[in-house]
Chain A
Amino acid sequence: MHLVIISGATRPQPKSNTAKIIAAFQKGFEENGNTTEVWYLSDRKQWDNAKNAFESNEHILIAFPLYAENIPGIMLEFLSGLKPKHNSHTKLAFIIQGGFPEACQSRCCEAYLKMLPAQLGCEYAGTLIKGDMFGLGMVDDKNREKMLAPFVEMGRHFAEKSCFEKYVADAFATPEYMPEKQIRMFNMIGRHISKFFMGSIAKKLGCKGNLYDKPYESSVNNPV
């Protein structure tokens, strides 16, 4: 099977967590001689090729980061420029990756994705959701490999089924909500660790202010 993969991420490929996820997915998908081509919407020069690939192939996967509860604006722009297919059996599948750990954060987007393929004359082939991906580009190689291993496995699954089966996608997406115990731990310790971690990253990046600064405070309830 040949699979067209489109990255809907806005970050350039070298800095993109979605690109890392795609690479891991490709590894599992290509194990048995399957092939892929990948197009990155962050690079507008690739849009024509991505459009041609969408038009001339029947297996399409779009991977992207969750932006404001749905697909990123550039991905919406790209998709709205496609001509809906007629009498095709094109299957359209999706991978959503987000920063928060719970799968419930991506369900609103998933609901939209279930409607989207029909708008483009395609069939829906499932959505894979994975949270807690914010640190993917910041961890060491060993931890990154550990975080990406499930995507390699999902590549194998997709190669076999040509879709993401619901029960597999649901198991992959866990936790749906953070367990009570984890919430208690977060409130007691986790939030302090998280604050310290973010402060250290900011310092390394050259942040001179406070992460909770309010640069437009004077505008609050005060129209020009």
Chain B
Amino acid sequence: MKETKKWDTRKTDYQERMNGAAQYIRNGKVVAPGDTIKVLEAVIRPFDRVNIEGNNQKQADFLANCLVKCDTQRIHDLHMVQSAVPLPVHLDMFDVGIAKKLDFAFGGPMAARVATAIKEGKLELGAIHTYLELFARYFVDLTPRVSLICAYEGDANGNLYTGFNTEDTPVIAEATKFRQGIVIAQVNKLVDKVTRVDIPGGWVDMVIESPKPFFLEPLFTRDPGGITDTQVLMAMMAIKGIYAEYGIKRLNHGLGFNTAAIELLLPTYGEELGLKGKICTEWALNPHPTLIPAIESGWVKSIHCFGGELGMQRYCEARGDVFFLGPEGTMRSNRCFSQMAGHYSVDMFIGGTLQIDKYGNSSTATANRVAGFGGAPNMGCDAKGRRHSTEAWLKCGAEFVSQDEYLGTMPRGKRLVVQMVETFGEKMAPAFVNELDACKLAKNAKLPLPPVMIYSDDLTHILTEEGIAFLNKCRGLEERMAAIRGVAGLTEVGLAAKPAETRLLREKGIIKTVDDLGIDVSRANRSLLAAKNIRELVDWSGGLYDPPARFRNW
């Protein structure tokens, strides 16, 4: 007799779990905050794949703090699949045994604890991903069974308003719910009618009003007061030597003071070079407060955001021509879509790193910190699936001489991937090294391969105070390494440079120094910044930007 195969075991399992929680769910889908731990114990099973929403910005911190308090007899050895682990509680989970395995994208301030937990055997690392890569795996082999998400508002039917900080929520909810998983949301406020339905109620099983609003980290706020004269100099080099040279219109900026300096030089130095309208018009970017002066001066046409930035909401809402607003007038960020935009639709990624090796591979990992990548590698790479062209992309491709080794005479464009570093960082830590600390980390934390943020074959330019190395113009590894040495200053890598060789590369236009670029170093000081402190950013915004207390200087 033929056995009848069951095709709905997931659904049955879902129902069983929900039955266990039913007694705590009242008034539609509402659970009292005090019942959260019981609810989690009812619906989560040992070895489950669980997602706690959290990235480098917003955090479902209330649910995380409840999960860690669950009975370890009932819940243990969870496989956490989540964007980031920036809160202490994310690692406490492994210390107490609630969780065992981790697949993630960004370590942030917990980078050192991740490394320690791995070494002590408390944490089994699946892999370090990029955001987009992890989201992709949610739909293949890392689909969460239970997801703990967060929103600004929720109603009794489960409808959620995630608004300005929508970020990762849609992708998590969709992956979980459409595989019959359980979605639990902490909301800042239970309301009768949500401002906008960002997540439909049908995808959400339980709504809990958290005692405190979810935690938000203003990660992309850089106080212009912290920008140094050196950063001003390098920003001038970037604008004149790269942005103007290639006519970069569509781009992403990594976070950091270097790119903040570029943003603040657009209305001054950029204006002076006559670049308005010719560069920096369309962005995939978080709402960086330091971009306010450029927006106000009419440089920017559009910005799509990965996430929201604390204090920028009112400003974004008042600049509807620039940001992506819903019909009701509030912005919606979306990390998945913005990462996709950053991968396929920008012509340049520029960002910083901790170390670059002599071959041009770079990483932010140190020997004892599993920092993760976040979104940088998806923008800091050549999108191989890209087929549309722009001037900047074509020019960079035309200069990419090694291309013919694979394509023959077939033309192809190339994304500009630029790393911007001072040759020596804080405490004289060299930015250029013969071997990345990531290699030591791989050994220490038993990783299958060193965590490299941007591989050399994707890197097209390196910008240091010494000059710009146009790696795309180099033929072969030897020439690339010579170009890297030529801008690596007095680091161990730079000291290996041969003056004659560097001179030749300058003649070929592969290295351009400050003098080659015709930049007057005496002008490289903070007075060139369009705003020199947070107060001036608020003034530029006409009082719309409301910076977090810790950034105020008045």
Partners in one complex: no
Give the interface of B toward A (CB within 8 A). none
